[in-house]
Amino acid sequence: MQPQIFDTAPLPAGDRFGLWLEMLARTPTLMRIRTEHADNFLARAEFLDLGAMQLIRHRYRPLDGVRTRKLIQRSDADCYLLAVTLNGVGVADQDGQRGVCPPGDITFYDCARPQELSHYADEDDRAASIVALIPYDALPLPHRRLTPLFASRMSGREGIGALLADYLIRITSHPEQYHAVDAERLGGVGLDLVTTLLGRHLVSEEAVPTEVRRRALLAQVQAYVRQHLGDAMLDPRTIADAHHISVRSLHRLFEVEETTIAAYIRDERLARCRRDLADPALGDRSIQLIAGRWGFRDKAHFSRAFRAAQAETPQAYRTRHLEQARIVNSAASEVNPARTD
């Protein structure tokens, strides 16, 4: 996927702020902006369309913003906004509530209601955030139930909040790693995580549909597995205990995905091993050491699992990919020989 990028850096300093305001006027986040850097407003916005959810990764000079009822009438405002602070401190006010969000925290508000915001950063630094724009009908939660959460502060450093923040950061940091055909599915996973996070902060999680809770739990379990692949003791009991569910419930979670938890762990470990075996920078590292790094402590078991998945031995796989890398690097050197003068 390729994001649409708006960057004021290539523009004349005197034009930057005005053109930033023109860009902002074409989004549902139209605001009246004040900043001490209007004479040289360095800012960048990267827009990524994930179907029902649009992501915008912002980086800009410190500013204050006000969204009035008149400005709301001039924009398509039937949506929510969820923001993850990446750098600086964000402050959001809406309906008499205020959320002060340092890096890693999350806030949420309704674009159809007046609001105020400020985003500050250290001197000579730029504020940064990721914004998710979510249409009302894309979020399966009663609108009236969400009012207590507007302009609230939610942690993005633990639990489901951390999983959501990490998910948004990963996608917006490397959108080129994903295919355009995956956009709708990626947006759906993001919406499930947002819905579950908001549900956790409501009085009752029963407002969150059962299927949404299941998919969010699956995403949490998968993230946990990826973080602990190097632990040879990783097993269904450990994973179930970490998520306060029974082993039976864990197995049912993966049955719906037409796989098993054991197969998921194995496939993720093999994927990491393939990556390392094909990496020229790790060419002097033994195959057994690479396998052990990702939880395969038994050499024979690793070889059998690898051959079953790849139809070749780990050594053959490594030799083939390292030779391909050598040929590519050699060709690149011939095209762009190093200068010796």
Quote the DSSP letter at residue 341: -
Q: Tell me, what's the pLDDT at 338?
A: 53
- Alpha-carbon torsion angle 4, 9, 10, 15, nearest 10: 100
Exposed, middle or buried by CB within 10 Å (0-12, 13-18, 19+), for 32? middle
pLDDT value, residue 340? 47
Residues 6+ apart with CB under 8 A from 100: 89, 90, 91, 153
Query: What local confidence, expressed as pLDDT, does residue 220 receive?
Result: 83
Give the Cα separation of 155 and 175 in Å (integer). 24
Long-range contacts of 257-261 (CB under 8 A, 24+ apart): 257/218, 261/221, 261/225, 261/236
Tell me if the pTM is above 0.75: no
- pLDDT averaged per 10 residues, the chain (length 341): 92 94 87 92 94 93 92 84 94 89 93 92 84 92 85 90 93 90 90 90 64 82 90 92 88 88 94 93 92 93 94 94 83 58 46
Structural domains of the chain ordered from first start: 4-227 (2.60.120.10), 270-333 (1.10.10.60)
